[in-house]
Amino acid sequence: MEPYASREIRFWGVRKVERWALKLYSVLFGRGPIEWERFEPGLQLAGRALPEPNESNGRPGLGFLIAHQGRTSDYMVLCWWDRENELPIRVWVRRIGEIWRPAAPDESVCVWDLEIIWSERQAWVSTVLSATGPDLAGYLAAATHERSAP
């Protein structure tokens, strides 16, 4: 096993995808910059995987995407909020130089992705599931989790 080393995590704003509002994050192995052209096909796959309609009872049409530029592979992690407090997750993978494919049953998110997922969980609880009522704009604005690699 490789010892854990922090990776750069960056928030890139909110992206409209198939009528959904998705927060866009990147995770970067090594020194940057992130190469977004590598992720465009993965972003298209993610857009086609989102359920329709985007808004329904308990589904506000909000979620987030993680573009993870890894050491040997790239990962696209799509998460959306549904049934008020559930977070469906879809993952796509591509080894460097290959095409994107859905993650195999034994492939999942990693410790760096979980850092973002936890931050998004905290934002969801404090803005949408708060006692003062759902604040969807507040959720979209609550994307302050960024970290540079050492």
What's the pLDDT score for residue 78? Answer: 97
What's the pLDDT score for residue 68? Answer: 97
Q: Hey, which residues does 66 pair with through a beta bridge?
A: 25, 77
Mean model confidence pLDDT for the chain = 92
Cβ within 8 Å of residue 38, ≥6 positions away: 69, 74, 94
Counting as low any pLDDT under 50, the low residues of the chain are none
Q: pLDDT tens for residues 14-52?
A: 999 888 999 999 999 998 899 999 999 988 999 999 999
Q: Domain segments of the chain: what residues?
A: 8-141
Percentage of the chain with pLDDT > 70?
95
In single-letter form, the type of residue at position 42 comes to G
